[in-house]
Chains A and B, each alone.
Chain A
Amino acid sequence: MAATSIRPDEGLRAPGADGGLRQTFRNKYLLRLLVRRELRARYKGSLLGLGWSYVRPGVHFAVYFYIVGVFLGVNRSVEHFPVYLFSGMVLVNLFTETLHSTTRSVTGNAALVRKVFLPRELFPTASVLVSLVHFLPGLMILSGAAVAAGWRFSPEAAGAALLGFAIVVVLGYGIGLLFAAVNVFFRDLEQVVDISMIVITWSVPMIYPWTHVRDHASGWVLDLYLANPLVSAVFLFQRAFWLPGTDAGFGYPPHLYARAGLSLAASALVLLAGRAAFARMQQRFAQEL
């Protein structure tokens, strides 16, 4: 038997007080195991396993490409439309999946939350990491397609991609923390989030070029549209992966990077707010679940 681990000099503390995001990231081993568990559980007993993370975006892509690209003719007005479409899609999928899984992350682990004290932030954090795992294959396919369409590496492209990615992850994490906590008290949120996926998909210039909004909507609608951080993020990803391969001539709205910087700042504020709200609400998780 190992020697006792009792440290009598250690002071008395309130149990359950040492939670929070910092503690979550300190516990890397547990976080890694939780991510692995979630991946394993999601594809339990399926033949394709992680292969499904290719099939789902693949089908989405095919539908949008044929309906919007070929039948509705966007293919002719937007050069390399498949790359254009896919560069927005990987990012939007990352965002919607993050939202979907974080919202359910605490309620899905109700048994654990009720029985063992863990920093509860672990669960939404693990969900965000799982979404990032699913994002990787899409990103690789996108890079391959971009190279095939004549894309070459440039520091500006890399910077734009990184900034767009950062906006989506920070915003998704922030809203995810908030939703994970609120969903414990109001399960309706799950339904709301699922419905909002459709709105999110069509409210960014991923399937159609943003110029349609400029030409057909009134000024304040366009301003509102461009204020969406996700719109900036999609612009940046297109700027990174699609624009370099085209013959130019496609104009983005002015102040693209200024808007993106503001979007990142706003997303960071959302993350801080989400973190604070989660920390407050998690004190009542065990009795609500």
Chain B
Amino acid sequence: MTPSIVIDSVTKDFTLRHARSIKEMSVRALRGQRLSDRFRALDDVSLTLHQGETVALMGLNGSGKSTLLKLISGVMRPDSGSVLVRGRIAGLIDVGAGLHPELTGRENVHLNGAILGMSQKEIARRFDEIVEFSGVERFLDDQVKFYSSGMFMRLAFSIAAHTEPDVFLIDEVLAVGDPPFREKCIGRIRELRGEGRTMVVVAHDIQMLTGLCDRGITMRQGRVIFDGPTAEAGRLVREDRMARRAAAVAGEPGTPP
């Protein structure tokens, strides 16, 4: 099998600044509080994903899933270690980041398509397909700010799902939209999967992930704790969830993110 994404002992730290202005800084300094904290979002993560695999990335909030996706997409660079990817990457990372409210649906298809790496020709070729899939034909020449949130999400998903990437990153987007459209999205992902694209899916719906993915990776506090069958990976996340809930009930602060 050809490796598609190679992540080699990647570590990523974030600095949380508590004070931005000089005033805040001096107040905190006088009180003897820390000006910033560092925390490790990813701790020595190594993974190899192969071409054509559909991988579920699971874990509680703050376990490092989104950071890992951002490193794969190239938005962020690792502090140490390396990330290598083959082919074109497209992300469904927070749909709608590229949609501009003042532009019409039509203009947004062109703009967002180009942002996601499509050429003018590709967009022209797939335009009708994108519009049909999103189901917003009637409002195509209205400004996107007048769209309902469902229409907005549908258009955004539809553009991203037609970009023909080699590596497709999907972050928490399947939770949006009404059930029929959600089904349609999952159908589209299955279709892309059938074409041999590599996919990394992040979602909280373990059941859906189990049905969709052929490999599950569970993360806990920036580390990969499990890599194998999706069902087992999901079981571990459920355990983590129970533990966090129990901690919250017991009145203790939950496990640190």
Interface residues of A (CB under 8 A from B): 1-2, 4-8, 10-17, 27, 29-30, 33-34, 36-37, 40-41, 44, 111-118, 283, 286-287
Would you list which residues of chain B between 38 and 81 have a CB under 8 Å from chain A?
51, 70-77
Are A116 and B84 also in contact (CB < 8 A) when A16-B74, A17-B74 are?
Answer: no
Distance, CA A115 to CA B164, complexed state (A): 18
Within the complex, the shortest CB–CB distance from A259 to chain B, in Å, comes to: 40
Interface residues of B (CB under 8 A from A): 2-3, 6, 14, 51, 70-77, 82-89, 91, 93-94, 97-98, 100, 102-103, 107, 110-111, 114-116, 119-120, 126, 164, 166, 191, 195-197
A-B contact count (CB 8 A): 108
The chain A residue with its CB closest to the CB of B17 is A288
Max count, chain A CB within 10 A of own CB: residue among B73, B75, B83: B75
Within the complex, the shortest CB–CB distance from A122 to chain B, in Å, comes to: 9
List of A residues within 8 angstroms of B119 by Cβ: 29
The chain B residue with its CB closest to the CB of A16 is B74
- From B87, B102, B110, A40 is in contact (CB under 8 Å) with B102
Are A112 and B196 also in contact (CB < 8 A) when A12-B86, A117-B73, A117-B74 are?
Answer: no
Which are the 6 A-B pairs with shortest beta-carbon distances?
A16-B74, A15-B74, A117-B74, A12-B84, A115-B97, A30-B114
In the bound complex, do residue A283 and residue B116 qualify as a contact, i.e. CB atoms below 8 Å apart? no
- From B3, B91, B103, B195, A37 is in contact (CB under 8 Å) with B103
Distance, CA A182 to CA B165, complexed state (A): 33
Distance, CA A15 to CA B7, complexed state (A): 11
List of A residues within 8 angstroms of B196 by Cβ: 4, 6
Within the complex, the shortest CB–CB distance from B174 to chain A, in Å, comes to: 17
Are A14 and B97 also in contact (CB < 8 A) when A37-B111, A40-B102, A287-B76 are?
Answer: no
Distance, CA A113 to CA B85, complexed state (A): 20
Within the complex, the shortest CB–CB distance from A106 to chain B, in Å, comes to: 13
In the bound complex, do residue A6 and residue B166 qualify as a contact, i.e. CB atoms below 8 Å apart? yes
In the bound complex, do residue A16 and residue B73 qualify as a contact, i.e. CB atoms below 8 Å apart? yes
The chain B residue with its CB closest to the CB of A4 is B195
- From B6, B73, B88, B164, A2 is in contact (CB under 8 Å) with B164
Max count, chain B CB within 10 A of own CB: residue among A5, A11, A12, A115: A115
In the bound complex, do residue A116 and residue B116 qualify as a contact, i.e. CB atoms below 8 Å apart? yes
List of A residues within 8 angstroms of B103 by Cβ: 37, 40
Distance, CA A14 to CA B82, complexed state (A): 8
Within the complex, the shortest CB–CB distance from A38 to chain B, in Å, comes to: 10
Are A8 and B51 also in contact (CB < 8 A) when A13-B84, A33-B111, A115-B94 are?
Answer: yes
List of A residues within 8 angstroms of B111 by Cβ: 33-34, 37
Within the complex, the shortest CB–CB distance from A23 to chain B, in Å, comes to: 12
In the bound complex, do residue B84 and residue A117 qualify as a contact, i.e. CB atoms below 8 Å apart? no
List of A residues within 8 angstroms of B98 by Cβ: 112, 115-116
In the bound complex, do residue B164 and residue A15 qualify as a contact, i.e. CB atoms below 8 Å apart? no
In the bound complex, do residue B114 and residue A12 qualify as a contact, i.e. CB atoms below 8 Å apart? no
Within the complex, the shortest CB–CB distance from A88 to chain B, in Å, comes to: 34
Are A5 and B74 also in contact (CB < 8 A) when A12-B84, A29-B114, A114-B97 are?
Answer: no
List of A residues within 8 angstroms of B73 by Cβ: 15-16, 116-117
A15-B85, A287-B76 are known; give 14 further A-B pairs, CB within 8 A: A13-B84, A13-B86, A15-B71, A15-B72, A15-B74, A15-B89, A16-B76, A33-B114, A36-B107, A37-B111, A116-B73, A116-B93, A286-B76, A287-B14
Within the complex, the shortest CB–CB distance from B74 to chain A, in Å, comes to: 3
- From A5, A37, A117, B166 is in contact (CB under 8 Å) with A5
Within the complex, the shortest CB–CB distance from A260 to chain B, in Å, comes to: 38
In the bound complex, do residue B85 and residue A12 qualify as a contact, i.e. CB atoms below 8 Å apart? yes
